Structure 1
Amino acid sequence: MATNTGQMGYLPRGGAIFCTIPDILYLPELVFGGLVLSLVASTFINPHNPQAYVISVAIFCFIMTFFWLLVFACGSHQNRSSWASADVAYHGFAALLYLSASVLLAFITILFSKVSTEDFLKNYKLDIAAVVFSFFTTLLYVIHTVFSAIRWKSF
């Protein structure tokens, strides 16, 4: 029986991953995760400040999401339920990482708002954009986790 998350007991492969609800979110996750990465990387990063953690989370999630997209696109998962549970586990973990990184980035942005020099004002604006995109990316990973869990339960 077909559902909004694909067929029950079926993991898509090839071009079909762009037709099911949880898997169609791979591209927005990559785009907005890349935006977070580039915005934070373009600001002043002090290794003692949590923006280094935000960069690490963005790089890890970008690489792993791209790898996960390739696994599903190439059909390497061979339609096993262990891949469905791994999909839920990865996206849940990525959502948790992005949530922690988003909160830290918002905290640092609030601290930077107290400095009012010209150079810090530019970094402050970039950090505000990074915070918005970071929370949006977190939302995408949470939605992907929920729909992947629905698909996993149908196995």
Structure 2
Amino acid sequence: MSSATTSVSLPSGFKVLISFPDVLIVPEFVFGGLVWILVASTTVLEPLLQGWVMFVSIFCFVVSTSLLFLYFCGAHGEKSSWVTLDAFYQVTASLFYLSAAVLQAFTTIWIRDLVISKIYHIDIAAVVFAFAATLTYVIHMIFSLLRWKSS
């Protein structure tokens, strides 16, 4: 009696860039990088709140880059622990980016009357891209959790 079990694994090589949800790493890079650049280019009036936004954007950028490099190299092999690691990271990144987006929006609303118009518009753009990054991380998280559940 044999049972047909299918093991879902992470792609390796350039298949990472054509498989869903792993292709979402590209918009995560773009949106996260834009958040990083936009927050860094404004006047930081609330260092604790915007410091968290910077930490989240840099942390997620570095970890996503590291994971993408490891997936390209095929370092994960066929181990299901990498699927678990990927799902755990996506959950963590989604929660981090959601908190960062909310804090950036709060900061932007709070400082709207204190800063000049150009800086305020940059902060608004940072909020938009932070929520866009949050959305891509949440979509990636959902499909990573489905992959983890089926592995």
Q: Same fold (TM over 0.5)?
A: yes
1:95 maps to 2:91: no
Cα 1:105–1:47 change in 2 (3 A) is closer
- Deviation of 1:48 (Å): 3.6
Following the alignment from structure 1 to structure 2, what is the Cα–Cα distance between the partners of residues 125 and 46? 15
Q: How many residues were matched structurally?
A: 146
- What aligned pairs does 1:77-96 form with structure 2 within 5 A after superposition? 77-96=76-95
- Deviation of 1:49 (Å): 4.0
- Deviation of 1:51 (Å): 0.8
Q: Report % sequence identity.
A: 47
Following the alignment from structure 2 to structure 1, what is the Cα–Cα distance between the partners of residues 27 and 76? 22
Following the alignment from structure 1 to structure 2, what is the Cα–Cα distance between the partners of residues 71 and 138? 23
Following the alignment from structure 1 to structure 2, what is the Cα–Cα distance between the partners of residues 24 and 123? 32
Cα 1:18–1:8 change in 2 (3 A) is farther
1:97-121 deviations in Å (ceiling 9; x for gaps): 1111111100010011123x5xx21
SS of alignment partner, residue 77 of structure 2? coil
1:67 maps to 2:84: no
- Deviation of 1:56 (Å): 1.0
Tell me what 2:135 maps to: 139
Following the alignment from structure 1 to structure 2, what is the Cα–Cα distance between the partners of residues 17 and 48? 37
Following the alignment from structure 1 to structure 2, what is the Cα–Cα distance between the partners of residues 34 and 48? 19
Q: Which deviates more from structure 2 when the two are superposed, residues 101-110 or residues 48-57?
A: 48-57
- What aligned pairs does 1:3-152 form with structure 2 within 5 A after superposition? 8-46=7-45, 48-115=47-114, 120-152=116-148
* TM-score, normalised relative to structure 1: 0.89
1:80-101 deviations in Å (ceiling 9; x for gaps): 1110011000011011011111
Counterpart code for 2:69: L
In 2, are the aligned partners of 1:46 and 1:52 still within 8 Å (CA)?
no
SS of alignment partner, residue 132 of structure 2? helix
CA RMSD of aligned residues (A): 1.4
Q: Which runs of 5+ in 2 are unaligned?
A: 1-5
Tell me what 2:3 maps to: none
Q: Which runs of 5+ in 1 are unaligned?
A: 1-6
Following the alignment from structure 1 to structure 2, what is the Cα–Cα distance between the partners of residues 38 and 32? 10
- Deviation of 1:126 (Å): 0.2
